[in-house]
Amino acid sequence: MGFSVEILFDGNSEKKIKEYWKMLYDNDGGSFMYLKGGNPHISLAVYNNEMACIEQLKEIVNSTFKDIKQFKLELSSIGVFPGEEMVTFLNPKPSPKLLNLQSALYSEIRRQKIKKYYWGHYKPKSWVPHCTMIVNETAEQHIKGIDLLIRYYEPFVATVNRVSVAEFFPYNCLMEIDLPQENPKYI
């Protein structure tokens, strides 16, 4: 169990990613994300469950994102984190906006001294932006899932339109903020 700060996607992009999760599930290429993954997302910060400063983290997210508008990311490739946990993911092209946003969030977390229990892989110099597709599965399922994704995945552009603070697993959204459009149209 833990806590995360996540950027979330527009409805069409969420639907596409969930369709890939379903394809993986239906073909024994990984079931965890389809059954327990919550909303498709990219985590900007992750904490172990011992972290007790959730209200302070919510305030940090509110202040960090108060002037952030919706933005686009191209989910352009498939990647793998090797090792014991094995994670297969969609890899966004790392835009300066995405990297600066994650760095600003981490800087504020450090400034407010709530970095205890922060996962080291999410520090700005270590962080690899990713949208998880396969996790907590056997090596055989990963191989099968990677084969499916290589055959059927088509890169697309997603709009980041929300940010949340979530508790995981089981997934529970603790706070969600809608990001305003860049140029809203007034009727």
What mean pLDDT comes out for the span 162-182?
94
Residue whose entry in the numeric block shows the structure tokens 């890169």: 155
| Joined tokens for residue 4 | 């995360």
- Residue whose C-alpha is closest to residue 28's, from 148, 116, 123, 121: 148
Q: Is the pLDDT of residue 187 over 60?
A: no
- DSSP for 20-87? HHHHHHHTTS--HHHHH--S-EEEEEEEETT---HHHHHHHHHHHHTTPPPEEEEEEEEEEE-SSS-E
The class of domain 2-178 in CATH terms is alpha beta
What mean pLDDT comes out for the span 121-145?
96
Domain boundaries, the chain: 2-178
- pLDDT tens-digit series, residues 29-71: 999 999 998 999 999 999 998 999 999 999 999 999 999 999 9
Q: Is the pLDDT of residue 148 over 90?
A: yes
Category of 87 on φ-ψ map: left (φ > 0), alpha (ψ -120 to 50) or beta: beta
Q: Is the pLDDT of residue 132 over 70?
A: yes
Q: What is the pTM of this model?
A: 0.94
